[in-house]
Structure 1
Amino acid sequence: MKEFGYQRVYDVADAVAVLDGDPEARFLGGGTNLVDLMKAGVERPGLLIDVRHLPLDRIEVTGDGGLRIGATVTNSDLAAHPEVRRRYPALAQAVLAGASGQLRNMATVGGNLLQRTRCGYFTDVARPCNKRLPGSGCPAITGEHRNHAILGASTACVAVHPSDMAVTLAAFDAVIGYETADGAGELALRDFYLPVGDTPHLETALPPGALITGVTLPPAPVAAVSRYRKVRERASYAFGIGSVAAALTVRDGVVADVRLAFGAVASRPWRAAEAERVLTGGPATAEAFAAAADTELAAARPLPDNGYKVTLMRNLVVAVLTELAEEAGR
């Protein structure tokens, strides 16, 4: 591992100023992803700026009934918070599905949003990878790609985004707050992650030198009846091969509101906007749920070894929405 410096900061402005003065520096939250990448030689920062002591560790109900979540809130505290469980239960479920208790105790909300793909070609510095070394190629396309993307990929990269939490945040229209040397700003999560295109190494729309300060969830009554379901190849805390964040409001057998997002199938959390459009105002039936899933998945472009994900996601959508419809009818 490359030698690096370490500096602890206690003020947001100071943290941004330190990073602004050292282009080789990286912010350090829990380190559950960054330190692993440093050990592998993928990340080689000259300085780690420890931000865990910044005053960004609170979860607050906003005046309009949403939630504001600080960037240094741990995943454990997020999953256990009573207002998260009451207002956005799928978010708590996603965090619990994402990692073991030990990792959740360390990992932070800001760091979770910035974690990088677990594609084996990306984490192996001896192999080419456009995300790690632009222009070197994507060997996953003709190599091992069983767990890779079926939606929104490109000829430059077929890796998937690993965050469970971000999938649920996408379903509920989260907004990411950040601070730079030029002041504060916000990005809707739908704009936060960039399309992979031919520049897979450019992953977010954060301005250079930006520090994530928190996440705001707007009020969403539909989120009170929500669920996160993750499928993985083994029951332990493994990265998913497909997941769904869903919320549903049914009135008189008709879908009044629905939120749907997919995980582990694209380079970023995939908001299933077409499926939502098809479902809204229609019957809350398994047949309608399947038709909506088919509409969304018509855009899938699977590779030879990951076509199973199309069927998996269709079945997952139907199962989760059917459960929510039954729950709403009680």
Structure 2
Amino acid sequence: MQIGIVGATGYGGVELFRLLYSHPGVENINLYSSTQHGEFFQEIYTHVNNENYTLKDLNPDEMKQQLDIIFLATPAGVSSELTPQLIGGKGKVIDLSGDLRLKDRELYTTWYKNEAASEDVLEQSVYGLPEWNKEAIQSAGIIANPGCYPTATLIGLGPVVSRELADPSRIIIDAKSGVSGAGKKASTVTHFANTQENFRIYKVNQHQHIPEIEQQLMHWDTTAEPVTFSTHLVPMTRGIMSTIYVDLKGDYSLNELVQLYEKTYEKEPFVRIRKAGEFPCTRDVYASNYCDIGLALDERTSRLTIVSVIDNLMKGAASQAVQNMNLVLGMEETTGLHHIPVYP
């Protein structure tokens, strides 16, 4: 199987390389960069210096005929222009950016401040949340890999929202991410002096992942309303914790809710539900494709607290993309992803 990674020098790209390098179904990995082509990959990332890979320039006509899977680990605004050039051959596209996730073109332009992909490309793209869209993914030619915050949040909300057990007008999401979620490009916010021993809220009510979350909630429950979504930057390298508050419509015990989550995800190899009263932390999923979930119920208010954790570069990006690749190629979805989380 011939694989291509566009944007190989970013954090998502190098994680894809690490996973695909040892994937049993991968014969060859081609690395592409529009700005650093011609350079040696091992000179940019010295931890892979046992291999010789030269970054290639983009040639869409050649790529779509020679490659089986093309991963786009690119900034927002790139995939919307590149994807149309890559379809029509044998290659299937898995986009890790946000360009193909939103079906409403105007909504994308409003939140991402870029021109949206064409209607044709958006109609062909399938939202790649494997735990909830497996059948569509398996027959897709274009997969929109979910965002990191939406992945943790939607896996956490799915069991109660899809069954309309939650009040859709009162969903509050309090999410935290490690610094790698901001990408490789340095900025004042991610500078060591501004992150170390500091805790920062950012993009208050303005994060571009908000409409992605709301779109999926509307798919599950057509009465769903806008959510309150806050994001924070934590002084750690990787990891996401999404703490979600929902008001329940009926009376349920904590054990009933835990059983509901266990039943919902019993056939999903990468979702782990904690026992009642136990909660995951980001270290529990570090460098893995797992999403761990813990629940708490306040019987005084009938409010459910959902704690969902993932590794933002793995289940929130690269390893979920590989999981989607496995599904679209008809392989066991866990192939190449049997990683026990790194500890400590």
Q: TM-score, normalised by structure 1?
A: 0.25
Q: TM-score, normalised by structure 2?
A: 0.24
